[in-house]
């Protein structure tokens, strides 16, 4: 059995989400062969050298899970793309490239965070190209922690203000880009998060039926996609037991 989650946006200000996640690890993930976290696991990440006690606590919980035999895979989101090797070593997880094709219960599936699919948001795509440039990443990683904290706050406030103003079509995926990446990777199934619009979309491209599964964000409730012998099902669950 395999579990996929994304967009928990873990932060100290949301102890309800943290509790729900720790319970999710103990009650569900411990029975899974693998847990995939497809980005925006943390609300903010300024670098492995700036980890807070809260973030160390989450790393320890993931390590405990991986030590009981569940493989943990982590993909960057747009909020936590500075997560690096040190965190992954501490948490016992494997960093996955965005995009990645993996075999889940025998089927090749394309996994992405999803922000790169929202190509209609040109301002965001420009910003993304800058922030993922290796040279910029190098400079970012070497800025003093205080400076990085300041920068993270600024980016977060700007992104909040802009998301409120942008039309819903702009902050959702571009259908043509979805078809393009699925064709490029020759898959029938794409799983991603980011848009906070949990759903299963069936599409037909050149007579082939494809599916795009959008993972839900953890806010008013939690979400997890489960893949097992019975197929594939995503269900929400309450944050508090």
Chain residues in the site for Mn ion (CB under 5 A): 40, 77-78, 194
From the CB of 121, what's the least distance to Mn ion, in Å?
A: 12
The token pair at 237 is 């669950």
Considering the complex, what minimum distance in angstroms separates the CB of residue 115 from Mn ion?
5
Instruction: Quote the CA–CA distance of 188 and 186 in Å, as a whole number.
Output: 7
> Phi and psi dihedrals of 168, rounded to 5?
-60, -35
User: Considering beta carbons, is residue 153 or 156 the nearer one to Mn ion?
Assistant: 156
Residues whose CB falls within 8 Å of the CB of residue 50, separated by 6 or more in sequence, listed in order: 145, 148, 149
Minimum distance of Mn ion from residue 91's CB (angstroms): 20
- In 3D space, the residue among 119, 132, 125 whose CA is nearest the CA of residue 179 turns out to be 119
Q: Which is nearer to Mn ion, 48 or 115 (CB)?
A: 115
**Residue with the CB atom nearest Mn ion in the bound state:** 194
| Smaller CB separation from Mn ion, 78 or 234 | 78
Q: 112 pairs with which residues across the strands?
A: 192
Looking at beta carbons only, is 40 or 43 nearer to Mn ion? 40
Instruction: Provide, rounded to whole angstroms, the least separation between the CB of residue 113 and Mn ion.
Output: 6
């Amino acid at each position: 059995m395999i579990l996929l989650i994304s967009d928990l946006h873990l932060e100290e200000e949301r102890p309800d989400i943290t509790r729900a996640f720790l319970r999710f690890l103990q009650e569900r993930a411990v029975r899974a062969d693998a847990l995939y976290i497809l980005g925006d696991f943390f609300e903010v990440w300024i670098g492995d050298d700036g980890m807070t006690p809260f973030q160390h606590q989450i790393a320890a919980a993931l390590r405990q899970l991986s030590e009981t035999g569940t493989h943990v895979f982590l993909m960057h989101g747009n909020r936590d793309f500075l997560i690096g090797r040190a965190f992954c070593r501490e948490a016992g997880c494997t960093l996955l490239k965005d995009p990645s094709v993996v075999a889940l219960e025998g089927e090749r599936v394309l996994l992405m965070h999803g922000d790169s699919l929202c190509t209609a948001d040109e301002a965001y795509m420009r910003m993304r190209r800058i922030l993922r440039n290796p040279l910029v990443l190098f400079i970012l990683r070497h800025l003093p922690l205080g400076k990085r904290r300041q920068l993270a706050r600024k980016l977060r406030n700007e992104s909040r203000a802009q998301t409120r103003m942008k039309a819903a079509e702009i902050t959702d995926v571009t259908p043509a880009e979805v078809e393009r990446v699925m064709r490029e990777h020759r898959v029938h199934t794409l799983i991603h998060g980011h848009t906070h619009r949990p759903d299963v979309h069936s599409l037909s491209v050149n007579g082939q039926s494809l599916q795009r599964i959008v993972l839900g964000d953890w806010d008013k409730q939690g979400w997890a996609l489960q893949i097992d012998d019975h197929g594939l099902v995503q269900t929400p669950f309450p944050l508090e037991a």
